[in-house]
Amino acid sequence: RTRYNDEDRKKVQINAKAIHIIICAINSNEFNRVSSCVSAKEMWDRLEVTYEGTNQVKDAKINMLVHEYEMFTMHDNEDIKTMFTRFTNITNALQALDKVYTNSEMVRKILRCLPRIWMPKVTAIEEAKDLNTLPLEDLLGSLMTHELSILKTDDEEETERKKKKNKVIALKSTTNEETDNESDQELALITRKFRKFLESKKKVGRKPFRKGNTQKGESSKIEEIICYECNKPGHYNSDCPRLKKKEQFKKKKAMLATWDDSDESSSDEESPEEVYQLALMAIEEEEEENDEVTYDELILIVEKYSCIISDLKKKIKILNVENNDLKKANNMCILNNKDEKKIEILEKENECLKIEVDALKKTFSNFYNSSEKLEKLLGMQRCVFD
């Protein structure tokens, strides 16, 4: 030290100052790595190898990041802000490894990585602005404003789809109600005809049709018998209900004729109310004749309504499947609501962490200012000793 000249003393002071700055900037674990080093250059080289690696490691990192930069594209359902954050992370890492891209290259790369839906906006920017002088921040602002308009149109289309879907569901419900009403009316009609069939059989003196009591041989014999009055199987001419109805109708007409003869003193012409009553009686007789149902007609009606019942069962199965699908969709909506709540919680945590980061930055700046003041004091002390 006695042989040091003024230039050597300056170098020693600069080395001590650099060592002091490095020690103030690192934590305790890193200090243990560089505590055995004598010079600031040795400390710096060791830290550089630790964090950046050797030249071979640097080249490997640069190649990997350049590949990510060249293959960089915007993901599906990704907004411009997150895409730009990923892009800046890659470019900052390359810049730390002394691989720098120009502003125009980064602008062109961002325009190339946009999906097909952004092509009209890309062509508009390329034609309206000079890409060599366009700042990256202006490009980001233009893309974010266009993104807001796209989101607005998507929301409007989604609301229209929901309205159309609700209309389709309403139409399905109305058609199902109409088919249910028609089936109820048809079922009421068949029960009415079946009751009239049983009443007519009781009046004639036959037993009502029972599926369990008749045997196969007897049913085949009955089916072979054909009535010569109505040309329908299942009964004789003497037991024909249509013939008996005609006889009853003739008796009623005869009674009406005698009643008209005995009532000649009242008036020669009938009043409109009496004519109306006679017309109603004739209409009721015709309806009773038309409503008469035979065994074969009853079988056809039963087959028809069995087909209707099978169709209704199929419709019930389809409706059950639709109900299950709607339940699944409802469960998905519930899960999405839970995810939204989690996102809100994470956003609040992110805000708290941002506040903590700001506080740490303030403390770090205070430490940095104190370190500068300490360096000044040390420099002044060394000058005094010199």
Structure tokens given for 166? 């609700």
pLDDT of residue 235: 67
Residue 347 has pLDDT above 90, yes or no: no
Predicted local confidence at residue 214, as pLDDT: 44
Checking if the pLDDT of 102 tops 70, the result is yes
Q: Would you say residue 278 has pLDDT above 50? A: no
Please state, in angstroms and rounded to a whole number, the distance separating the CA atoms of residues 193 and 298.
8
Asked if residue 1 has pLDDT above 60, the reply is no
> Residue 209: what pLDDT?
45
Cα separation, 185 vs 192, whole angstroms = 11
Q: What's the pLDDT score for residue 61?
A: 87
Question: Looking at residue 108, what is its pLDDT?
Answer: 92
- Which residues have C-beta within 8 Å of that of residue 236, sequence separation ≥ 6? 225, 227
Tokens of 345: 């919680």
357, pLDDT greater than 80 = yes
CA distance 312 to 301: 16
Distance CA 114, CA 121 (A): 10
Residue-wise pLDDT tens digits, 63-90: 999 999 999 998 888 888 899 999 999 9
Q: 255-281 as b/e, with b when 16 or more CB fall inside 10 Å?
A: eeeeeeeeeeeeeeeeeeeeeeeeeee
pLDDT of residue 363: 80
- Which of 46-60, 61-75, 232-246, 249-263 is predicted most confidently? 61-75
* Furthest-apart CA atoms within the chain: distance in Å: 169
Query: Does residue 25 surpass a pLDDT of 80?
Result: yes
**246 confidence band (pLDDT: 50, 70, 90):** low
In 3D space, the residue among 230, 235, 233 whose CA is nearest the CA of residue 289 turns out to be 230
User: 342 pLDDT exceeds 70?
Assistant: yes
In this predicted model, what pLDDT tens digit does every residue of 125-143 receive, in sequence order? 888 888 888 888 888 888 8
Q: CA 145, 151, 155 angle in degrees (round to 5)?
A: 150
Q: Does 198 or 310 have the greater pLDDT score?
A: 310
Structure letter (DSSP) for residue 270: P
Would you place residue 302 in the very low, low, confident or very high pLDDT band (cuts 50, 70, 90)?
A: confident
Residue 330 has which token pair? 């409802």
Query: pLDDT > 70: what percent of the chain?
Result: 69
The pLDDT value recorded for residue 268 is 45
pLDDT tens per residue, range 255-271: 444 444 444 444 444 44
pLDDT digit string (tens) for 146-192?
Answer: 888 888 877 777 777 777 766 655 555 555 555 666 667 777 777 77
Mean pLDDT of the chain: 75
Instruction: Look up residue 313 and give its amino acid.
Output: K
| Residue 21: HSE in the Cβ half-sphere, 13 Å Cα cutoff | 14
